[in-house]
Amino acid sequence: MQQGILVTAYKKPDWLQRMLNRFGPNVSFFVHVDRKSSAEDQDRYRQLTHAHENLVFVSNQYEVNWGGFNHLKAILLLVQKAVESGIGYCHLITGQDYPVKSATYFETQLDGRQNFIEFFPLPTSNWKDGGLDRLIYYHFHDIFDPKTRLGKVPLKLLAGIQGVLHMKRPLPDNVRFYGGSTYWSLNRACLEYVLDYIRRDPSFLARFRYTFCAEEVFFQTVLLNSPLRETLINDNRRYICWHTRNGSAPAILDASDFDSIITSKALFARKMAYPESQDLVDRIDKMVHSVISSGGAGRRDGEHD
């Protein structure tokens, strides 16, 4: 079964190049590079296609601001390209993720029946104000970049005006909304269902315009309201440290995370950055190589699915 790695990226492709080398030709990569990325970085991503035949698709179609609807559109573009290429099982990651299992593990231990995705019903105590405010109010993150000072001010002002005037958008009565992590590992049946759903009801996708972090609600909501809900495992198999470390939240991982990562069930760990994560990634690669050399498939003793 052909597997695909779907990557939304905006920084230098250092980790992607290492992943391409790690997985080899049996795993295909589909990459969307943020249009805001530097011309140099975008050129570097495209240059990788000449050196790696398993890098199938690279696009910079969308300018992606954190929290904006364009992120969901970029993900759906990658899903569409992967399905059109005949991929049977897809893993959605960022350009700062890194695999913590071997290519052999992916090929032998994941048979396409396991759909790993985090989910919980909304409203939830996991998110500020329960999470439905992401859908009820208008959020203009595609217009104003919240990572800049000039973008934060109008976003805060517009949110305040809506609160004062009670400008709330109605939610459909026939849909139960769910949320969870952006990143998942889903089989072809799930991805085809999502694509078919928005073809049959394009207004549902349109309803997610001007929502906040739509990609953390869309896939969960479509699939949990579908006949495929019983195939979903409420675990995205990603190692993420939700503390502030190395100047970032979630934390930029470093060598101190190694033991926790390799004893977890995670398929990928995030987020990585140079130089903080260099030693960690080197140790992961060494561990994976050691397991392969000993005849294993990337599974450590005592680890179970």
156 in the same domain as 7: no
193 in the same domain as 147: no
160 in the same domain as 271: no
18 in the same domain as 68: yes
Domain, as residue range, for 268 = 3-121+175-293
264 in the same domain as 152: no
Q: Tell me the pLDDT of the chain averaged across its residues.
A: 92
What DSSP string describes 84-147? HTT-SEEEEEETTEEE-S-HHHHHHH--S--EE---EESS-TTSGGGSTHHHHS---TTTS-TT
Residues 193-233: tens digit of each pLDDT: 999 999 999 999 999 999 999 999 999 999 999 999 999 99
Does a structural domain hold residue 144? yes
Residue 185: strand, helix, or coil: strand
Does a structural domain hold residue 133? yes
Going by DSSP bridges, is the β-strand pair 178-179/120-121 parallel, antiparallel, or unpaired?
A: antiparallel
Confidence at residue 296, expressed as pLDDT on a 0 to 100 scale: 63
Predicted structure pTM score: 0.93
Does a structural domain hold residue 186? yes
What string of H, E and C letters represents the secondary structure of 240-285? ECCCCECCECCCCCCHHHHHHHHCCCCCEEECCCCCCCHHHHHHHH
Cα diameter, the chain: 65
181 in the same domain as 65: yes
Does a structural domain hold residue 170? no
Does a structural domain hold residue 299? no
Residue 81: strand, helix, or coil: helix
Confidence at residue 300, expressed as pLDDT on a 0 to 100 scale: 44
Q: How many whole angstroms from its chain centre is CA 249? A: 16
198 in the same domain as 160: no
The residue-averaged pLDDT of 88-109 equals 93
Does a structural domain hold residue 22? yes
190 in the same domain as 44: yes
In this structure, what CATH number is given to the domain that contains residue 103? 3.90.550.10
Predicted confidence (pLDDT) at residue 79 exceeds the cutoff of 50: yes
281 in the same domain as 186: yes
Half-sphere exposure of 214 (CA within 13 A, CB side): 27
Predicted confidence (pLDDT) at residue 117 exceeds the cutoff of 90: yes
182 in the same domain as 156: no
Confidence at residue 24, expressed as pLDDT on a 0 to 100 scale: 81
Confidence at residue 304, expressed as pLDDT on a 0 to 100 scale: 40
Confidence at residue 25, expressed as pLDDT on a 0 to 100 scale: 83
Residue at which a domain ends, from 110, 139, 165:
165
Q: 239 - beta bridge partners?
A: 269
How many domains, in total, are found in the chain?
2
Residues 242-284: tens digit of each pLDDT: 989 998 989 999 999 999 999 999 999 999 998 999 999 999 9
Does a structural domain hold residue 300? no
265 in the same domain as 137: no
Does a structural domain hold residue 197? yes
187 in the same domain as 156: no
